Amino acid sequence: MSVPDDTDSGALGGDAPRGASRRLYVLTLSTGTMMLVLAMPSMAMPVLFPQIAAELGLSLVQIGVVWGIAPLAGVVFGLLGGMAADVRGTRKVIAVACIVCGVVGAARGLAGGFATLAITTLLLGMAGSAIPNNLHKTAGHWFSPRSLGKANSVLSLGAAAGAMLGALVSAAVLSPLLGGWRHVLFFYGVVAIVFGVVWLFGPDEPRHEGSSRGSWNLADFRRTLGGVVPVRAFWLLVVMSLCYSAYQMGFSGYLPLYLSEHGWSTAASSIVLAAFSAASMVGVIPLTLLAERYHLRRAFLAVAGSVAVVGLIVISLTTSPWVWPVVVAMGLFHDVFMTITITMIVQTAGIGPALAGTALGIMMSLSRVGGFVSPPLGNSLAALGAGLPFLFWAGFAVAMLAVLTRVRAARPEPDTGSGTLLSEPGL
């Protein structure tokens, strides 16, 4: 599948309909990648863990390590992937990362025990960590500041939809249909490879002032890091993202196991996790647009953190049907938080689309530290009480709220013209 490149001017070349069609194509491809290469295979794992643990003899702590080890790999490789895209462009980086994700992701299906499953998951995390930050960087190149929040909300919609489908169908539908959890992982691997090939023939992003292309050398990496590291506002957003990622990774990996141990069926525990993602899918676009339109970014971030704190406390105390509305409320604001935070980073003074790959690489890399540490530490507390892990993860959400009090929300730059997502006059 091939799409001709635009002229390499500062805005989209050619007539307006062609420019809009390219934006729509890139946004669709990026959203599909977020959904089918990243989110769906990732959220398949919590609902497949009971099958995997039974066959491979994994303990609860080992499950936590496997769930968190992919984010650990991204600590270094997410940053390198972002910096590489700032130097060489996003399309090739995303294409290679998708293909490698497909190969090593499918290799997890060959695991014979904890060690091989952990190693292949680690390799998957290395490759996959270069994708999400570069998808958002791509949006920063193709969409104007006024439309960037809308474009990012569509990407988050894809992530939420993929997470919902991964939790809903991986164990209940795909596993029996394909012949077990191993074949489910093979299937997701093939899908990732297909997306990688499509990206190889996609359009390069329009160039922005300050962006660079050319030889890959150490000076380029130093330049991009030097432009990002001194920005204080950026680091506050990074710490917030780390805390929020720690809560989300721990909570989502443990919830199906927690509910199953308290009498919930495999289908019901899978569906409740899918409900979290479904609520996120429903809420991300309208709530993000409200936050952008009325300049309420900080308010929505505060609501997201507060709902997480209250919800985790309630779940730690009960496994009654009250879990359903609590999980839905938490999910409603989950991707809103990530969308707003990512948009704020891209629009932080001194960063912009030209350095967004490096900035988002740092943010997502450090967030993965929380995503790695949180699941095994939280799961280990289950020996003292099944609900204690949720209180541990609530502490991360409280810390995020504390940092938020120091964050100032910059407003998007004004555009001329209508500012609609696909008909804006330029980039």
pLDDT in tens, 171-194: 888 999 999 999 999 999 999 999
Q: What are phi and psi for residue 293, nearest 5 degrees? A: -65, -40
pLDDT score at 12: 37
In a domain, 427, yes or no: no
The candidate with the shortest Cα–Cα distance to 94, out of 155, 153, 144, is 155
* Mean pLDDT of all residues in 292-306: 90
- CB burial of 309-323 (b: ≥16 within 10 Å; e: otherwise) equals bebbebbbeebeeeb
How many angstroms separate the most distant Cα atoms in the chain? Answer: 65
Query: Tell me, what DSSP letter sits at residue 7?
Result: P
List pLDDT tens digits, range 72-129.
666 666 667 766 776 677 888 899 999 999 999 999 999 988 999 999 998 898 888 8
pLDDT for 328 beyond 70: yes
Total number of domains constituting the chain:
1
pLDDT score at 269: 78
List pLDDT tens digits, range 253-284.
788 888 888 888 877 877 888 888 888 888 88
pLDDT for 233 beyond 80: yes
* Mean pLDDT of all residues in 304-323: 92
pLDDT score at 184: 95
Query: Side chain identity at 159, as an amino acid letter?
Result: A
SS3 166: helix
Q: What is the 3-state secondary structure (H, E, C) of 289-315?
A: HHHHHCCCHHHHHHHHHHHHHHHHHHH
pLDDT band of 416, cuts 50, 70, 90: very low
pLDDT for 15 beyond 90: no
In a domain, 334, yes or no: yes
- DSSP alpha helix (H) spans, 129-231: 132-142, 145-169, 175-178, 181-200, 218-228
Q: Report the alpha-carbon distance of residue 380 to residue 204 in Å, rounded.
A: 46
The candidate with the shortest Cα–Cα distance to 58, out of 134, 117, 128, 124, is 117
Q: What is the 3-state secondary structure (H, E, C) of 26-70?
A: HHHHHHHHHHHHHHHHHHHHHHHHHHHHHHHCCCHHHHHHHHHHH
Residue 88 sits in a domain whose CATH number is: 1.20.1250.20
Q: What are phi and psi for residue 364, nearest 5 degrees? A: -70, -30
Start-to-end CA span in the chain (Å): 25
Q: Report the alpha-carbon distance of residue 104 to residue 416 in Å, rounded.
A: 46
SS3 214: coil
In a domain, 227, yes or no: yes
What is the value of pTM for the model shown?
A: 0.66
pLDDT for 415 beyond 70: no
- The residue with tokens 């952990």 is 118
The candidate with the shortest Cα–Cα distance to 108, out of 55, 163, 159, 158, is 55
Q: Cβ(254)–Cβ(379) under 8 Å?
A: yes
209 CB neighbour count, 10 Å cutoff: 8
Q: Report the alpha-carbon distance of residue 163 to residue 331 in Å, rounded.
A: 11
- The residue with tokens 């994708």 is 131
Query: Domain limits at 360?
Result: 23-207+218-404
In a domain, 9, yes or no: no
pLDDT for 401 beyond 90: yes
pLDDT for 35 beyond 60: yes
Q: At what angle do helices 232-261 and 60-88 cross, to 10 degrees?
A: 150
Counting residues of the chain whose pLDDT is more than 70, the rounded percentage is 83
Q: Please report the DSSP string for 342-407 in residue order.
A: HHHHHTSTTTTGGGHHHHHHHHHHHHHHHHHHHHHHHHHGGGT-TTHHHHHHHHHHHHHHHHHTT-
In a domain, 424, yes or no: no
- The residue with tokens 């992982």 is 185
